[in-house]
Amino acid sequence: MRLIIPILLCFCSLTSFGQINSDNTNQGASKITSAKADSLENLEQWKSDPEFPGGPTALSKFLNDHIEIDGEDLGDQRQKKVFVMFTITENGNIEDVMVLKGISEKMDKKIKEIFQIMPLWKPAYLYGKPVRSRYSYPLLIKL
């Protein structure tokens, strides 16, 4: 019994390393680089994320201009992070606004209203066609 285990280990290691060297290793690389447009390797080339008109700076300015904070909205805190999730349609409209982590019901309602009056976004594109997409945005509210 003591001899069987070492013999089996030696046999397994010899047979598992018995691979053939070939010059065909570069053919696999050429197959990957010539992948079709609908494969996962090239997805980044064919997809774009939704974008607020004017970019992130314009979005921050829009939110700062429209959010009015009362002292009682934040309670005893000087700042609070709120997470908002919404859907951007194929037309760029905002739908299904949800405050995932909010401050109070009153403040969450204000935030939802602000997101619903936003101008049209540039929608996300997949393979050249506009698609619906979910977008989450962390919003830092300061007094």
CATH assignment at residue 114: 3.30.2420
Residue 66 falls inside a structural domain = yes
Residue 7 falls inside a structural domain = no
What's the pLDDT score for residue 134?
A: 93
Per residue of the chain (143 residues), what is the pLDDT tens digit?
A: 666 776 766 665 666 655 565 555 545 444 444 445 455 555 566 788 899 999 999 998 998 888 877 665 556 666 678 899 999 999 999 999 999 887 778 888 888 999 999 999 999 999 889 999 998 988 887 76
Provide the residue range defining the domain that includes 82: 46-142
What total number of domains does the chain contain? Answer: 1
Residue 126 falls inside a structural domain = yes
Please name which of 103, 107, 108 lies closest in space to residue 81, comparing C-alpha atoms. Answer: 103
DSSP symbols for 15-62: HHT-----TTHHHHHHHHHT--TTSGGGGGGGEE--B-TTHHHHHHHH
What's the pLDDT score for residue 123?
A: 93
What's the pLDDT score for residue 32?
A: 44
Please name which of 135, 23, 56 lies closest in space to residue 88, comparing C-alpha atoms. Answer: 135
Residue 41 falls inside a structural domain = no
Measured CA to CA, the distance from residue 66 to residue 116 in angstroms comes to 12
Residue 13 falls inside a structural domain = no
Which residues are bridge partners to 137 per DSSP?
84
Residue 32 falls inside a structural domain = no
What's the pLDDT score for residue 71?
A: 61
Residue 28 falls inside a structural domain = no
Residue 16 falls inside a structural domain = no
Alpha-carbon distances of 50 from 36, 86, 113, 134, rounded to whole Å: 24, 12, 20, 9
